[in-house]
A and B are shown apart, each in its own frame.
Chain A
Amino acid sequence: MAEQNLDTVLVIGAGVGGIKAAIDLAERGCRVILAESSPALGGILSQLDYQFPNNHCGLCRMLPAWERDPASEYCMRKGLFHRNIRILPMTELIGLEGGAGRFEATLRTFPRGVAPERCIGCGRCEEACPVEVYDGFNEGMGKRKAVHREVPHNVPFSYVIDFEACTKCGECVEACPTEAISLEEKDTQAVYQAGAVILAPGCGLYDPGPPDAYNYQSLPDVITSLELERILSGSGPTSGRLIRPSTGEHVRSIAWIQCVGSRNAGRGQDFCSSICCMFALKEALLVKERSPETEATVFYMDMRAYGKEGYRYHLQSAAAGTELVQCRVHTVEAGPDGRLYIRHYLEAEGEVRERAFDLVVLSTGQASTPEMKRLAGVAGVELNTCGFAPGPGLRTSAADRAGVFWCGSATGLKDITETVLQAESAAAEAAACAGVTSESPESPSPATRDVSREIPRVGVLLCRCLGGQGRDLPWEEIRGDIAAHPDIVDVVEADLLCRPEGFDEAVRKLGGKDLNRLVVGACAPYVYDRRLRKLGAGLGLREDLVEVVDLRGTGLGTGDPREKRRLAGSVVASAVQKQKHREFPGTAVISAVRKVVIVGGGLAGMTAALTVAESGIQVHLLEKEDRLGGETRQRRFTLDGGDPVSFLQGLEERVRGHEAIEVYTGTELIGFSGEPGCFAARIQTGDKGESLACGAIILATGCREAETDEYGLGRSNRIIRQGDLEAGLAAGRFSAGDLGRVIMIQCAGSRDPDGRAYCSRICCASALKNAFKILEVNPDADIFVLYRDFMSYGFMESRYRELREMGVQFITYRPEKKPEVEVEGDEVLVRFQEPILRRTVDVHPDLLILSTGMEPSDNRSLARLIGIQLNEDGFFQEMDPKWRPVDLERPGVFACGTALSPRNMEEAVIQARAAAMRAVILLGRKTLPSSRTVSEVRQALCSLCETCISICPFEARFRDKDRIHVIPSACQGCGLCAAACPNGAAWLPMFTDRQAMGMIEGLVD
């Protein structure tokens, strides 16, 4: 029964990484099988209500921008419907045969116990179920039944049975009004063919249970950061109130303890979990917003808020009153007063202090899971010594088995941005590996007839069961009331629409009535989603001509029969009005120029160029210097022993050799106009100008090693930057004698609100890799690294430890007490404060190395030219840093590499592939259908006041002479313009005034 689908990609795991990869592949035209071991999508994110920068959910921002599914595709928590994605919940991979391009994957699906297409979420099974277990969704805080909803706030509210807890007593089977429950289901297995496999199982979180000195298990007020997230959540165990689990009192002071289960080589946790610092800062800010008087204290070792926005964020949280104490905490003890006592060393005082807190939050880090090991075994790929998927390295995100790719936290805990980037990168490679044709097939829309010219003929279908609550409703009267409506052709009733019998009965009754609208009154909407489309298709109606109203949800269960009758009538009448007054906009269509212009021929630019070209789309690669390579030409070695020189050479050869890539050196972009799918780029080479047509543009203008006026740089040949050192070492310019004693100063000119306010993210790694090189030349070298917070995130942590064990000493300094440097003739004096001995240290090193970090190329003119923003530091500003990390404000314009955010080579390569994937998706189709709800302009009514332009948050409107224009691909259908326009000249076809008034009309007397 294996399906013959070689352009199918199998994605294992439906967390952010898996979903993002699936959506990109689907948009790219691949067919995707998305298998998730749990019953619900979303992974860990379904438990996190608040995400920075704006504290909102944001999952929806992953949804396709170009072709949204017409059926209520606006909230991921209502599920993911894409016609190219097949979702298999409760399914795991148990076998993988074959190889790249021809995998045969065996999937096992566990029984749900409750048939989703029948479950109406009425909750009677839950009432009936006698089995109570701890609620995993709320991190074991609170209880749930054996039959439960995996993610309570998800729609549809369909239930699932936890067969490990279930006693098969059968109560629920009795209680279910729709006979949806069966306790006798067995596992099923199926074999699928796929061209490539993406593994995105996510990782586990460290369980702080014994042996530990935090007393996590014995003290109820010691919780994990994820538990705090649940406590702060409206859908959580305390419905969002910040209270102590033990007493229910308001929390007046919280302590976060960092590195729980991380940075603990002694316990084999020789890694940093990368995101906990940001996570703690975020939670502290959340707490401060909720209750400003609550004290928030974070105990940390290094505050690893690294990268583009990290340091600003660090300062923001501190400014909000978060206290940061640098001391690893080992013990939490309960005092006689029931509060939690933490003993810590206060460096400033040189003394041990004890402080009491109401709540202690353990920032638990990443942990490998049995599932990761099992999956790796099945997929036949290796994990690293810590039980995680190996990082991508410079080459690709492929695992060691061709055609298998890792993404997401299985490669180490990641924030949303990095996860999304990695997912898009993996998707790009998987698509290539699965041999997806350059042109994605136009998605076949089911044969529906055009009813836009017809007089509305609305049919109404009522389900009488309503989860058992509908039995005693006055259906005859209700039916009479509704039928009186002049636009209604017929009112059809059915029993148990959720069961095949009922459904078929309905289809039969509705047939041959020549309807062009259908309103269904039943249980919770979305429940029947897929089947309703079948129903619509059966009547030749487009999905959005079928309207489902939730009769049960409107409280029909309560109140006296007259009230019920009125409610039912008005709810249906309202829906009828909505359908009656709907408009039929012609969705705007742009024919795409299938070419991409890439500005910048460095590592990122070339990688993006290759990825685009390999998908069969033409590339114009512009480099302003006379040779390719950019800043990466300065890199001679990497921390994990990679060889950037030959890598870059290989890359350049492939780029130059690819017939779909045209390289322009000594060339700059001097003009840019048009809209997504069809831009005109004006370029200049020397004094020769030229115009290029393209459908998208990728900016990869890179960075350079920053200068600084601190620490006497340039005043002595003993004072150089990490980059200079790397070059010198590579060229063998230093002898052992030159490297007797070496001082490195981190954050030179970086992480300074008055200077470069960001963390360059790579400097600590550079310090490490160069220190290793120095020790190769002179094993007795005495190396001191003066730093503020050492950013050896992820598995870099072990390299950090190795260096210490080799005798390199790392000493912290505070920004208010920076080291001082004096040049004394040929000598250089470095003076710094030793915080532990609390003494001043003088030293005359052979070399003083400054980690100045990177700064983006000057992109101001380019930004002005294209009409995009730069952030305060001169990096390109993303449209949405988390969910659209390579999209810039102007649609069709993407960016990657160090011009977008500081990152190392591996990370830049991933980001470049992500940017390329976005461009390929955009140009994958011959034409660009925009999402259905694009605002339009009634020119005859328009007074050209331009209020709609000034209010549009997506830059989707502009004025050209005496007309207002809408850029369909930019418009997100938010409706602000329609709301601001006094006479409806700006309007949203799917949400017209007449519809709104009609619906209100229907609802009120």
Chain B
Amino acid sequence: MTNCVRLPVESGNINDALKEFFSSLLEHDVVQAVFLPMRQPDGVMVMHTLVRDPKRLEGLDPLAPVTPTSTARLLSSLTFKKPGYRIAAFLRPCDCRAYVELVKLKQADREQILLITTDCEGRLEPRDFLELVSEAGDGSAMVFHERLERDDDTLPLVRACRVCEHPVHEGADIGLRIFGSDPENELVLCAQTNVGTEALYPLGLEEAKEPEGRGKALAEIIAGRIAERDSMIKEYGERTSSFAALRDVLKTCINCYNCRAACPVCYCRECVFLTDTFRHDPEQFFRWAGKKGRVKLPTDTAFFHITRMLHISTLCVGCGQCSTACPMDLPVMELFRTAANRTQARFEYEPGRSPDEPLPLSVFEDQEFLELTAE
């Protein structure tokens, strides 16, 4: 039922086209607020911004190839209690999927959100993005797109994106088409849900078709990324084949907990590792040191990561924010996707697939995991 509309692009300036679109969403009162990436006053870094005044959309840059922090998490901070406003939110597919998980976890609201996503070519780490901007200025998004088009492998795409087999999200209400399309001259937006259709209708935009080449392009991209993903999982499966090996990979963790702060689905108000449970008595350290002769501090580093895997590996959407946030450059994303690959398969669970799919932990079957439970 996809019915699509086209936004004409004047002289390659996609942001003006998108500005049109979002401001008319506000003017037609389809939504009362939009939440999307905008260049900040310094004119450089792009951050998600909540806008209620259609006249304040200057500097929006939805396709800027950067996401400094999980926007799913940011959006949930607007909706963990019913906001009372309809919000059009522009999220990358990974953040859409994370957002769906947060909805299931009662941390966010879906009903009042008009979820708009885009075909995702990937993102850059903030520092790499700044470099790109210094060359390309406002046009960074298009430059990024063109360089990818001609397979410029000097482009430091973050690894999470290179192994991401979900570059689109069907669950969103509206999807911006990039793959197989011609953003130079037009942007195609397609409604993917009834909500999306109803949202586009009043804007009276020009009808359009799904870009022809899209299906094929998408298939190629996904195939390529799956191949990369599998080789990564193979590599890390081997690198963490024993506890000793895993501990070695994690030996330089400094317990800054940035990874969990950045993780969109690590939803606890306060992490158990910050509670008294892990505030050991001093004599405890001495007992440890006593047993083995010495003990490395901080302790509980591998314990922390394993616990986090236990808690959220089934929900991990592979957005890679953990690695982005890690000051010690630990391969957090790699480890989590390697674990998630098996846990998610075991529960036949795909995070973000559908808000109606129950969380693995909340369903209990009598004859489950017999290989573990049967005596």
Contact = CB atoms under 8 A, between A and B. Distances in A.
A950 interface: yes
A827 to B, nearest CB: 55
A57 to B, nearest CB: 14
A983 B270 CA distance: 7
B175 to A, nearest CB: 28
Contact of A984 (B107, B272, B358, B361): B272
Interface string B42-76: 00000000000000000000000000000000000
Contact of B275 (A486, A944, A951, A984): A984
A965 to B, nearest CB: 15
A943 B276 CA distance: 18
A569 to B, nearest CB: 11
B277 A486 contact: no
Contacts of B270: 940-941, 983
A940 B364 CA distance: 28
B291 A983 contact: no
B106 interface: yes
Interface string A946-958: 1100110100000
A1003 interface: no
B271 interface: yes
Nearest to B364: A951
A486 B283 contact: yes
B283 A945 contact: no
Nearest to B291: A1005
B105 interface: yes
B21 interface: no
Contacts of B311: 982
B362 A950 contact: yes
Interface in B328-375: 358-359, 361-362, 364
Interface string A48-63: 0000000000000000
B362 A941 contact: no
A997 B277 CA distance: 9
A993 interface: yes
Contacts of A984: 272, 275, 277
A1000 to B, nearest CB: 12
B357 to A, nearest CB: 13
B106 A941 contact: no
A980 interface: yes
B271 A947 contact: no
B268 interface: yes
B257 interface: no
A872 to B, nearest CB: 18
A777 interface: no
A945 B272 contact: no
Contacts of A868: none
B268 A943 contact: yes
B365 to A, nearest CB: 12
Contact of A943 (B107, B277, B359, B361): B107
Interface in B84-101: none
A942 interface: yes
Contacts of B269: 940-943, 983, 985
Contacts of A945: 105-107, 267
Contact of B361 (A947, A985, A993): A947
A486 B281 CA distance: 11
Interface string A967-1005: 000000000000010111100000011100100000001
Nearest to A959: B106
A942 B272 CA distance: 11
Nearest to A1004: B291
Interface in A86-101: none
A946 B106 contact: yes
A958 to B, nearest CB: 14
A951 B268 contact: no
A993 B275 CA distance: 11
Interface residues of B, number: 22
Interface string A262-297: 000000000000000000000000000000000000
Contacts of B312: 982
Interface residues of A, number: 22
Main secondary structure of the interface of B (DSSP, over half): loop
Contacts of A942: 269
Contacts of A946: 106
A947 B362 contact: yes
Contacts of A985: 268-269
A992 B276 CA distance: 11
Interface in B269-328: 269-272, 275-277, 283, 291-292, 311-312
A993 B271 CA distance: 14
A314 B271 CA distance: 52
Interface string A915-957: 0000000000000000000000000111111110011010000
B312 to A, nearest CB: 8
Contacts of A992: 277
Nearest to A946: B106
Contact of A941 (B275, B291, B359): B275
Nearest to B375: A234
A980 B275 contact: no
Contacts of B106: 944-946
A941 B364 contact: no
A983 B272 CA distance: 4
A950 B362 CA distance: 6
A980 B271 contact: no
Nearest to B270: A941
Nearest to B105: A945
Nearest to A944: B106
A945 B359 CA distance: 11
Contact of A982 (B272, B291, B358): B272
A573 to B, nearest CB: 9
Contacts of A953: 364
B268 A941 contact: yes
Count chain A CB atoms within 10 A of each CB in B107, B268, B291 and give the residue with the most. B268
B172 to A, nearest CB: 23
Contacts of B292: 1005
Contacts of A486: 283
B185 to A, nearest CB: 46
Contacts of B275: 941, 983-984
B84 to A, nearest CB: 17
B303 to A, nearest CB: 9
A943 B362 CA distance: 16
A953 B107 CA distance: 23
Nearest to A950: B362
A486 B290 CA distance: 13
Interface in B158-186: none
Contacts of A947: 105, 359, 361-362
A1005 B359 CA distance: 36
Contacts of A1005: 291-292
A469 B320 CA distance: 58
A993 B359 CA distance: 24
A937 B283 CA distance: 29
A951 B267 contact: no
Given A947-B362, A993-B277, A983 B107 contact: no
Given A944-B106, A947-B361, A994 B277 contact: yes
A982 B364 CA distance: 17
Contacts of A980: 361-362
A945 B266 CA distance: 12
A552 B275 CA distance: 37
Contact of B271 (A940, A944, A950, A983): A983
A626 to B, nearest CB: 47
A992 B267 CA distance: 22
- 9 A-B pairs closest in CB distance: A950-B362, A983-B272, A982-B311, A983-B268, A945-B105, A993-B277, A943-B269, A486-B283, A984-B272
7 contacts: A941-B275, A945-B105, A947-B105, A982-B311, A983-B268, A994-B276, A1005-B291
Given A945-B105, A1005-B291, 4 more contacts: A941-B270, A944-B106, A992-B277, A994-B277
Interface of B: 105-107, 267-272, 275-277, 283, 291-292, 311-312, 358-359, 361-362, 364
